[in-house]
Chains A and B, each alone.
Chain A
């Protein structure tokens, strides 16, 4: 479904602040695969998402989605086939517009610009139906301004907006990190339900190792712009959080050793 071919991105090239955010990553995701990504801050996870969704151009490499080359497409174009969610609940919804207006903006994603009514009666019935699946009571508050909702409600709504037109790829960038544990759990459950119902290919960044292992079908670990670990199937099923941490430090140490070797060669 999603194929990344040797993509790289360096920020502040040729300056002292030069930072290799993505270092020659190649990756393939099958249709319906649900991949969780782990990694420390600055490992390049969000940069990878930005590259896929076209927030900036990559320095090199190609990105294919569903057989289509989407390298270098700008953000609002890729948004037609990619649903995206951010950590910040304020980012995904328009606060001064009502729930139904927000949903209808997302719903009209694939259709052309038009002067037809923004929220049609038929849409409203559909919106009520899908909102009721969230179990948050939002279906009775279609005319409520989104700014009045809690962070968890807003994030659940954003999730609905990102998937209301089934995307080919769903990018979740720590979408529950700003929520309290109980709400986070609820939103994660909703996430799981939607993804399995529509069999959406999904990429999810998380800092919660338990979640990374319990949700989805594959787990990737990133460090310094590289993929250092990629497990699925049997190996992943038998993996525990402790085991993963051990593996991570092992890999990190190995890298450190490599660096030392490199430096000694230079000397």
Chain B
């Protein structure tokens, strides 16, 4: 059970990184994710068998970033509200995805070569289960390192500044609209890449796979913050990836209690709500204590 949870967590950790970029660094809850995740899946599946599986993943990344770029365009140039822009792109992508899958909602690629098959062949001494997990770990670590380094560059700094204080960015002669688009492209690129890896791992693409993905991403980011605290971006990225694994552990435990499989969405939503509510509850509890003390003192007088 723990291995499955670990695998699931690692698979979606890239999605969590993408959500961290838009939700925490850019300060925009981006709902493009549901569409761009499936877009990564569909493009990776439809190109698989034709080009090398690694190239399929690159295509998944690029198509995801294109979706992000479009959302960015809607936000910056057409000036549509960020949440609505994401919903619009996500909705449109549903048709695009079906179009890519040629109208079939579920396409399998069991016979095709995937990165996982290649990797298991290299490490044939290892049980397939473990080699697949090892590859996921490698993917996850490489992506975290690359993104963490990217956010140390000037461009990365500009992205962080746009999320932090947009008016300051403008007076530093940075084109904030351009930076925003770029950040959304990167964020959704990672989401698309995650979709691509998931499709190769499961050897199929499903048009309905994306629903609830935003919540998975948000839950990972928030659980990560609960574990590591809000500190630097590097730690934030690592904590989001770890948070994703923890999230699937929690889901796995919930399954052990004989829950029906369709309760998973409710559980995920509840996890996010509880995690988001904790800080507020903490504050009102301490406020309550202070008030009670004050009342006591008033009575003494």
Interface, chain A (partner B; CB < 8 A): 75-77, 79-80, 83-84, 86, 90-97, 101-102, 104-106, 108-110, 113-119, 161-162
User: Is A79 in contact with B170, judged by CB distance below 8 angstroms?
Assistant: yes
User: Is B157 in contact with A109, judged by CB distance below 8 angstroms?
Assistant: no
B172 surroundings in chain A (CB, below 8 A): 79, 105-106, 109, 161
B154 surroundings in chain A (CB, below 8 A): 104-105, 108, 113-118
Which of A84, A97, A109, A119 is the one whose CB lies under 8 Å from B161? Answer: A97
Confirm or deny: B165 has a beta carbon within 8 angstroms of a beta carbon on chain A.
Answer: yes
Report B161 CB to chain A, min CB distance, Å.
Answer: 5
Nearest to B24 among chain A residues (CB) is A96
10 A-B pairs, CB-CB below 8 angstroms?
A: A75-B170, A92-B171, A93-B165, A105-B154, A105-B172, A114-B155, A115-B154, A115-B155, A118-B152, A119-B157
B153 surroundings in chain A (CB, below 8 A): 114-118
Nearest to A75 among chain B residues (CB) is B170
Q: A76-B169, A118-B154 are in contact. List 5 more A-B contacts (CB 8 A).
A: A96-B160, A105-B157, A113-B155, A114-B153, A119-B157
A116 surroundings in chain B (CB, below 8 A): 153-154
CA distance A113 to B179 in the complex (A): 10
A110 surroundings in chain B (CB, below 8 A): 173
Known: A76-B176, A109-B173, A161-B172. A117 touches B161 (CB 8 A): no
Q: Give the top 5 A-B pairs by smallest Cβ distance, nearest first.
A: A79-B173, A94-B164, A118-B157, A94-B165, A80-B173
Confirm or deny: B156 has a beta carbon within 8 angstroms of a beta carbon on chain A.
Answer: yes
CA distance A162 to B173 in the complex (A): 11
B165 surroundings in chain A (CB, below 8 A): 90-91, 93-95
Confirm or deny: B286 has a beta carbon within 8 angstroms of a beta carbon on chain A.
Answer: no
Confirm or deny: B227 has a beta carbon within 8 angstroms of a beta carbon on chain A.
Answer: no
Interface of B is mostly: helix
Confirm or deny: B168 has a beta carbon within 8 angstroms of a beta carbon on chain A.
Answer: yes
| 1/0 contact string of B13-48 vs chain A (CB within 8 Å) | 000000000000000000000000000000000000
A117 surroundings in chain B (CB, below 8 A): 152-154
Report A157 CB to chain B, min CB distance, Å.
Answer: 11
User: Is A76 in contact with B173, judged by CB distance below 8 angstroms?
Assistant: yes
Point out which of A79, A83, A96, A162 has the most chain B C-beta atoms below 10 A from its C-beta.
A96
B155 surroundings in chain A (CB, below 8 A): 113-115
Nearest to B165 among chain A residues (CB) is A94
| 1/0 contact string of B163-198 vs chain A (CB within 8 Å) | 011011111111110000000000000000000000
Confirm or deny: B65 has a beta carbon within 8 angstroms of a beta carbon on chain A.
Answer: no
B157 surroundings in chain A (CB, below 8 A): 97, 101, 104-105, 118-119
A94 surroundings in chain B (CB, below 8 A): 160-161, 164-165, 168-169
Confirm or deny: B75 has a beta carbon within 8 angstroms of a beta carbon on chain A.
Answer: no
B8 surroundings in chain A (CB, below 8 A): none
Confirm or deny: B158 has a beta carbon within 8 angstroms of a beta carbon on chain A.
Answer: yes
User: Is B164 in contact with A79, judged by CB distance below 8 angstroms?
Assistant: no
User: Is A118 in contact with B156, judged by CB distance below 8 angstroms?
Assistant: yes
Nearest to A55 among chain B residues (CB) is B170
Report A123 CB to chain B, min CB distance, Å.
Answer: 11
CA distance A106 to B157 in the complex (A): 11
CA distance A109 to B168 in the complex (A): 12
Report B13 CB to chain A, min CB distance, Å.
Answer: 23
Report B250 CB to chain A, min CB distance, Å.
Answer: 29
Report A13 CB to chain B, min CB distance, Å.
Answer: 21
A93 surroundings in chain B (CB, below 8 A): 165, 168
User: Is A96 in contact with B156, judged by CB distance below 8 angstroms?
Assistant: no
A95 surroundings in chain B (CB, below 8 A): 164-165
| 1/0 contact string of B72-102 vs chain A (CB within 8 Å) | 0000000000000000000000000000000
User: Is B168 in contact with A79, judged by CB distance below 8 angstroms?
Assistant: no
B152 surroundings in chain A (CB, below 8 A): 117-119
Report A79 CB to chain B, min CB distance, Å.
Answer: 4
Nearest to B162 among chain A residues (CB) is A94
Report B237 CB to chain A, min CB distance, Å.
Answer: 15
Nearest to B164 among chain A residues (CB) is A94
Point out which of A76, A80, A86 has the most chain B C-beta atoms below 10 A from its C-beta.
A76
CA distance A173 to B174 in the complex (A): 21
| 1/0 contact string of B53-80 vs chain A (CB within 8 Å) | 0000000000000000000000000000
Report A116 CB to chain B, min CB distance, Å.
Answer: 6
Nearest to B151 among chain A residues (CB) is A118
Nearest to B182 among chain A residues (CB) is A113
User: Is B158 in contact with A105, judged by CB distance below 8 angstroms?
Assistant: yes
A162 surroundings in chain B (CB, below 8 A): 171
User: Is A92 in contact with B173, judged by CB distance below 8 angstroms?
Assistant: no
User: Is B173 in contact with A91, judged by CB distance below 8 angstroms?
Assistant: no
Report B234 CB to chain A, min CB distance, Å.
Answer: 12
CA distance A110 to B174 in the complex (A): 10
Nearest to A171 among chain B residues (CB) is B171
CA distance A117 to B175 in the complex (A): 19
Which of B150, B167, B174, B175 is the one whose CB lies under 8 Å from A105? Answer: B174
Nearest to B177 among chain A residues (CB) is A76
A75 surroundings in chain B (CB, below 8 A): 170-171
CA distance A161 to B173 in the complex (A): 12
